[in-house]
Amino acid sequence: MTQTPETPLLELRDLRVEFALPTQTVHAVRGVNLSLEAGKTLCIVGESGCGKSVTARAIMQLLDPPGRIAAGQILYHQDSAVLDVAAMDPRGKPVRALRGREMGMIFQEPMASLSPVHTIADQVGEGMRYHFGLTKKEALTRVLALLHQVGLANPERVAESYPFQLSGGMLQRCMIALALACQPRILIADEPTTALDVTTQAQILELMQQLQADTGTAIILITHDLGVVAEIADTVAVMYLGEVVEYGPVTDIFADPRHPYTQALMKSVLRVDVPRVPGSRLETIDGMVPSAATVTPGCAFASRCPEAMAGVCDRQRPQTMLINQQHSTACHRRVAEAQQPAPTAAYARRA
CB of 311 to ligand SF4, least distance (A): 11
Given the complex with ligand ADP, which of 17 and 147 has the nearer CB atom?
Answer: 17
Residue from 32, 105, 180, 292 touching ligand ADP (CB under 6 A): that is 292
* Strand order across the 41-45 sheet: 103-106, 186-190, 218-222, 41-45, 235-240, 243-249, 328-330, 320-322
30 is a site residue for ligand SF4 (CB under 6 A): no
Q: Are 155 and 147 in contact (CB under 8 A)?
A: yes
Report the helix count and the strand count for the chain, using DSSP H and E.
13, 12
Residue from 9, 50, 143, 152 touching ligand ADP (CB under 6 A): that is 50
- Distance between CA atoms of residues 48 and 283, nearest Å: 8
Residue from 114, 301, 327, 328 touching ligand SF4 (CB under 6 A): that is 301
49 is a site residue for ligand ADP (CB under 6 A): yes
Half-sphere exposure of 125 (CA within 13 A, CB side): 21
Q: What is the CB neighbour count within 10 angstroms for residue 160?
A: 13
51 is a site residue for ligand ADP (CB under 6 A): yes
Given the complex with ligand ADP, which of 224 and 258 has the nearer CB atom?
Answer: 224
Q: Which stretch binds ligand SF4 (CB under 6 A): 203-211, 216-224, 284-292, 294-302?
A: 294-302
Q: How far lies 171's CA from each of 76, 114, 163, 165, 278, in Å?
A: 29, 9, 7, 9, 21
Helices (H), the chain: 52-59, 93-98, 110-113, 120-132, 136-149, 155-159, 168-180, 198-215, 226-232, 250-255, 260-270, 332-339, 345-350
46 is a site residue for ligand SF4 (CB under 6 A): no
CB of 82 to Mg ion, least distance (A): 28
Residue from 307, 320, 321, 323 touching ligand SF4 (CB under 6 A): that is 307
Q: Out of Mg ion, ligand SF4, ligand ADP, none, which partner does residue 40 contact, by CB within 5 to 8 A per kind?
A: none
308 is a site residue for ligand SF4 (CB under 6 A): yes
- Distance between CA atoms of residues 236 and 246, nearest Å: 8
Q: What is the CB neighbour count within 10 angstroms for residue 339?
A: 7
Q: Which stretch binds ligand ADP (CB under 6 A): 51-59, 163-171, 194-202, 312-320?
A: 51-59
Given the complex with ligand ADP, which of 295 and 322 has the nearer CB atom?
Answer: 295
Given the complex with ligand ADP, which of 113 and 203 has the nearer CB atom?
Answer: 113
Residue from 10, 28, 181, 253 touching ligand ADP (CB under 6 A): that is 28
Q: Out of Mg ion, ligand ADP, ligand SF4, none, which partner does residue 318 contact, by CB within 5 to 8 A per kind?
A: ligand SF4
Q: Are 246 and 262 in contact (CB under 8 A)?
A: yes
26 is a site residue for ligand ADP (CB under 6 A): yes
CB of 54 to ligand ADP, least distance (A): 3
DSSP 8-state secondary structure symbol assigned to residue 157: H
Cα three-residue angle 68-71-72, rounded to 5 degrees: 120
Let me know if 323 is exposed, middle or buried by CB neighbors in 10 A (0-12, 13-18, 19+).
Answer: middle
Interface residues with Mg ion (CB under 5 A) are 53
**Three-class SS state of 261:** helix
Which residue type does 43 have? C
299 is a site residue for ligand SF4 (CB under 6 A): yes
Residue from 19, 236, 313, 327 touching ligand SF4 (CB under 6 A): that is 313
282 is a site residue for ligand ADP (CB under 6 A): no
Let me know if 44 is exposed, middle or buried by CB neighbors in 10 A (0-12, 13-18, 19+).
Answer: buried
- Distance between CA atoms of residues 81 and 247, nearest Å: 27
CB of 48 to Mg ion, least distance (A): 7
- Distance between CA atoms of residues 174 and 263, nearest Å: 36
Given the complex with ligand SF4, which of 36 and 305 has the nearer CB atom?
Answer: 305
**Residues at the contact surface with ligand ADP, assessed by CB under 6 A:** 19, 26, 28, 46, 48-54, 64, 67, 292
**Residues at the contact surface with ligand SF4, assessed by CB under 6 A:** 259-260, 299, 301-302, 305, 307-309, 313, 318, 331-333
